[in-house]
Amino acid sequence: MRGGAASRRVARTVLLAGEGDSEVLFLQHLKRLYVQRGSGVVVTIKNARGKGAGHVVDFADRQSRNAAYDVKVVLLDTDADWNDKTRAMARKARVHVVACEPCLEAVLLQMHEVPLEGRVTAQLKHLFLTRFGAVASDASVYERHFSHGQLEVFRHRVALLERLIHLLINAEFQAIA
């Protein structure tokens, strides 16, 4: 038997860019719960600091020029600058988009089965604050209202969440069928 270093598997790398603070906090919460040390998946989360969907896609593309990522994904709201031009930019840059219709708060409320019909972004953000007692950019919201057990239930009824969890565990993007 030969001595020497044990062989190591090359980790798959994922770049996750969130549109703003709320998306980044949510992604960090998911990463904490689903990415285990030594799992072979390395996830880097970056904050695009808002400015609409086009900026978020461009930000992820620019960040990926500084490091080679196996998968590039953005989590963004569709309420600003989400259009065919932005979709084409994402395809060209090979950036996968996980779009929150119309905003992250709507998706988080949907997980808790709160009715959303007919509400616009400002109303959804206010409803989120009322329902959870804090804004989505408050990290404590995720610990209190989106535990691992709850997320395991939610993922089976919210496709966006299932896609994000699959990405974090497997370092591969799951396209919508």
Q: What is the pLDDT of residue 27?
A: 98
Q: Is residue 24 part of a domain?
A: yes
Output the pLDDT for position 66.
86
Residue range(s) defining the domain that contains residue 163 = 12-170
Q: Could you tell me the two tokens for 11?
A: 């980790």
CA gap 92, 73 in Å, rounded: 13
Residue 86: per-residue pLDDT: 97
Residue 67 CA: distances (Å) to CA of 44, 63, 75: 11, 7, 19
176 pLDDT band, cuts 50/70/90, is: low
- Kindly report each contact of residues 61-68 with a partner whose C-beta sits within 8 Å and lies 24 or more positions away, as own/partner: 61/89, 61/93, 61/95, 63/15, 63/17, 64/15, 64/93, 64/95, 67/13, 67/15, 68/13
Q: What is the Cα–Cα distance from 77 to 151, expressed in whole angstroms? A: 20
In a domain, 177, yes or no: no
Give percent of the chain above pLDDT 70.
94
Instruction: Report pLDDT digits (tens) over 118-167.
Output: 999 999 999 999 999 999 999 999 999 999 999 999 999 999 999 999 99
Please tell me the predicted confidence (pLDDT) of residue 174: 78
CATH number at residue 108: 3.40.50
Residue 173 is predicted with a pLDDT of 87
Decide if 111 is inside a domain.
Answer: yes
Give the full edge-to-edge strand order of the sheet including 12-18: 41-47, 12-18, 71-77, 96-100
150: nearest Cα among 28, 12, 29, 23:
29
Q: For the purposes of burial, counting CB atoms within 10 Å of the CB of 97, is it exposed (0-12), middle (13-18) or buried (19 or more)?
A: buried
How many domains is the chain partitioned into structurally?
A: 1
Q: Enter the tokens of residue 112.
A: 């808790």
Does residue 117 belong to any structural domain of this protein? yes
User: How much is the pLDDT for 3?
Assistant: 56
pLDDT > 90? residue 56: yes
